[in-house]
């Protein structure tokens, strides 16, 4: 099978391409943004920006499947004058432009990496639950999903949507990297009294599930949640990270209400909500329809994520 991977230099794209090349699993072509550096070794590739005007035909020639990972991701300190419009320009208009050209070019399947944020910021979700995104990133991913469903209904191209929670791995950034650094340095963390639950997905599990969605016939025109299959509280995550790095878990029991209030005062309310609140996904559909189970445990995934950082 011939597979085009967009966003091939990102966290997930790099690992996905490396696995397909290592296993000689599919003929891989990659697409990366024009300003990025060298193309990944041992694969053909093109440079293309994700917007409504990009001509994707040179990249799509002969492709059977597109795995669409490129996106404007969630930005903690967004400096765009109109963040929602900027997210829409890339994640909606850019994605649908690519998908329409893929359908016209007789691509058989379009695998789209979406997010749990299309459903919201808290709760426990299954695929059929209402989608009520709360921020610009989530709205843009939701609108892209709607557009892709229309394209699938109007053409012969199959669409598969993967909704992922927080992804962690060796090159993960933002909150996960900050947490790893704090644990490695032995910094006391004020989350000992937090009693929440959150779904996470390790990089290797997400790559494995993405390949399942590329290959499995029953994935056609379906949406799936993916996670490690074990939800963790924030204190649990810190303890397991500490164990993976052979460090002590220094947890201080501060009431969550106090933490949220302090975070609000310094403009970090959204960060605090992610650390204090619950957000879980149900992967029953993936297990039953695709026969997929996470191949890597949470503890092993965390060990791989922090390898070399101790």
Q: Active-site positions? A: 137
CB atoms < 10 A from the CB of 68, how many?
25
Query: What residues have CB less than 8 Å from 178, skipping those under 6 apart?
Result: none
Helix, strand, coil share of the chain (percent; to 5)? 45, 15, 40
Query: What residues have CB less than 8 Å from 110, skipping those under 6 apart?
Result: 65, 66, 68, 99, 102, 103, 148, 151, 152, 157, 158, 159, 160
> Distance of CA 2 to CAs 28, 43, 60, 71, 94, Å?
6, 12, 10, 22, 22
* Structure tokens belonging to residue 287: 């297990």
CA angle 75, 77, 80 (to 5 degrees): 80
Beta-bridged to residue 222, according to DSSP, are 160
| Residues 141 and 93: beta-carbon distance below 8 Å | no
* Structure tokens belonging to residue 296: 């890597």
The number of CA neighbours under 13 Å toward the Cβ of 290 is: 28
Secondary structure class of 251 (helix, strand, coil): strand
């Amino acid at each position: 099978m011939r597979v085009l991977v967009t966003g091939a230099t990102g966290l997930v794209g790099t690992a996905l391409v490396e696995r397909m090349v290592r296993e000689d699993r599919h003929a891989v072509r990659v697409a990366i943004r024009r300003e990025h550096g060298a193309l990944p070794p041992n694969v053909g590739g093109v440079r293309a920006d994700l917007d409504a005007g990009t001509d994707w035909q040179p990249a799509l020639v002969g492709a059977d499947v597109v795995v669409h990972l490129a996106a404007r991701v969630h930005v903690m300190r967004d400096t765009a004058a109109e963040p929602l419009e900027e997210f829409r320009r890339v994640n909606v208009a850019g994605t649908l432009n690519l998908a329409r050209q893929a359908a016209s070019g007789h691509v058989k399947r379009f695998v789209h990496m979406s997010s749990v944020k299309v459903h919201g910021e808290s709760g426990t979700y299954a695929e059929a639950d209402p989608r009520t995104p709360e921020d610009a990133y989530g709205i843009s991913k939701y609108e892209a999903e709607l557009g892709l469903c229309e394209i699938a209904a109007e053409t012969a191209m199959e669409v598969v949507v993967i909704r992922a929670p927080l992804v962690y791995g060796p090159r993960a950034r933002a909150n996960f990297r900050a947490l790893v650094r704090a644990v490695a340095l032995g910094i006391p963390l004020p989350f000992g009294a937090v009693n929440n639950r959150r779904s996470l997905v390790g990089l290797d599990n997400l790559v494995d599930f993405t390949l399942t969605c590329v290959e499995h016939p029953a994935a056609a025109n379906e949406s799936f949640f993916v996670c490690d299959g074990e939800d963790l509280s924030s204190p649990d995550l810190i303890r397991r990270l500490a164990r993976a790095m052979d460090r002590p878990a220094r947890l201080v029991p501060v009431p969550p209400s106090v933490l949220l209030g302090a975070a609000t005062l310094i403009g970090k309310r959204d960060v605090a909500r992610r650390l204090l609140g619950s957000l879980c996904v149900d992967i029953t559909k993936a297990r039953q329809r695709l026969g997929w189970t996470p191949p890597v445990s949470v503890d092993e995934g965390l060990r791989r994520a922090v390898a070399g950082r101790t």
